[in-house]
Amino acid sequence: MDMSRRTVIAGAAAAGIAATALGSAAHATGGRKPVRTLFGTLADGTEVHRWSLENGGTRLKVLSYGGIVQSLEIPDRRGRYANVSAGFDDLADYVAKSPYFGALIGRYGNRIGKGRFTLDGTAYQLSVNDGENSLHGGAQGFDKRVWDVEPFTAGTDVGLRLSYTSADGEQGYPGTLKVKVTYTLTRHGDWRIDYAATTDKATVVNLTSHVYWNLAGEGSGSIEDHELTIAASRYTPTDAGLIPTGELAKVAGTPFDFRRAKPVGRDLRAAHPQLIAAQGFDHNWVLDKGVTARPEHAATLRDPASGRTLRIATNEPGLQFYSGNFLDGTLTGTSGRTYRQGDALCLETQHFPDSPNQPSFPSTVLRPGQTWRTTTIHSFGN
């Protein structure tokens, strides 16, 4: 973490300087309540709001629709801000054609094979929306729901508390699931996500966030020069439908080895059957740390040109690294430029895909009386 930037910002704010070199209105010392504006209106008349918050040099804009991170701005090593999260500037685009840009994902992040699983002897059929499989909670997942949003300031933190109650049977999942997600910006500019969920019937849960990162700025081109490190010696190979085969394969000697920082593009075109099937990286890495009581380091992403760096820590045992393979130049992003293949990448902290059908994977079962809790922390530097 580059402390010098934080010190500069804090110093500028303390001195009451209009910190133009740091961008407009550098409210970097916390305590300022998030601001709400109208972003758009859904077909049924529901208003969707956009919340703007800022702390420690990080600026976040979040929609009540899907809990979507519509913009996330961080400075480069010279203090120049860029929005590093792909998205749209129009609600209609999110509703009609978003590939989960910036969204909260549930009830089950990633895929469940054939959208089926059996729990306590009962078979469940989920909404199928990705070939024969269920992806990211089904056709109407949490990314397409309007969340209740409450702003807060607590000490030097600012944030939003998002909540959503998913009805018993929604998208085929059993149990009324009460979900609370807290987005916090710390005085260091970290973006922390705390997830909590309870149920009234046994069910499965896997919650994540689907930001598409480009640390050079969204719409600025390819992420192939970004250097990625993933603290994982194994990954979960998949079948043609991207469902894990159940094997935990070693990354050593394969394009999947990101144990040392490596440009994303270096092995992206290797003729490895797993890369061909997914048209790039779209796999779950088995984090060496496993499930942890506290968030521990999972991955680092760095754009050498701007110096912007993202570090991810999580309680989760897995990380989906998706290299933006299905971006095809048909979507126009926030900055008015189109997104082509590899123009952004996702790093989704998670339990492994298809866990409900893979008894050897860490369990995603949630029972009444339990609370599903998990945290992911994004720390930024330059």
Chain residues binding ligand BGC by CB under 6 A are 99-100, 242, 282, 320, 322, 326, 346, 348
| Cα separation, 83 vs 114, whole angstroms | 37
Single out the catalytic residue among 210, 226, 283, 351: 210
The least distance separating ligand BGC from the CB of residue 134, rounded to whole angstroms, comes to: 12
Nearest in space to 39 (alpha carbons), one of 30, 51, 27, 31: 51
**Secondary structure element (H or E) that encloses residue 3, with its range:** helix 3-14
Of 233 and 341, CB closest to ligand BGC: 341
Cα separations in angstroms, 67 against 50, 265, 290, 321: 10, 30, 27, 21
Rounded to a whole number of angstroms, the minimum distance from the CB of residue 274 to ligand BGC is 13
Nearer to ligand BGC, 100 or 285 (CB): 100
Provide the 10 A C-beta neighbour count for residue 20.
11
CB of 238: closest distance to ligand BGC in angstroms?
A: 10
Select 22 or 327, whichever has its Cβ closest to ligand BGC.
327
Q: What angle do CA 180, 56, 12 make, to 5 degrees?
A: 155
User: How far is 313 from 297, CA to CA, in rounded Å?
Assistant: 4
Q: How far is the CB of 130 from ligand BGC (least distance, A)?
A: 8
Choice between 348 and 354, CB closer to ligand BGC: 348
Least separation, in Å, of the C-beta of 282 and ligand BGC?
5
**CA 53 from centre of chain:** 18
Give whichever of 99 and 189 is closer to ligand BGC, judged by the CB atom: 99
Residue nearest to ligand BGC (CB): 99
3-class secondary structure, 203? strand
Let me know if 210 is a catalytic residue: yes
Amino acid at 115: G
CB 299 within 8 A of CB 311: yes
- Point out the catalytic residue in the list 316, 348, 351, 378: 348
The tokens describing 279, both together, are 């048209």
Alpha-carbon distances, residue 84 vs 59, 317, 330 (angstroms): 11, 25, 19
Q: Quick count: other Cβ atoms within 10 Å of Cβ 52?
A: 15
List the catalytic residues. 210, 348
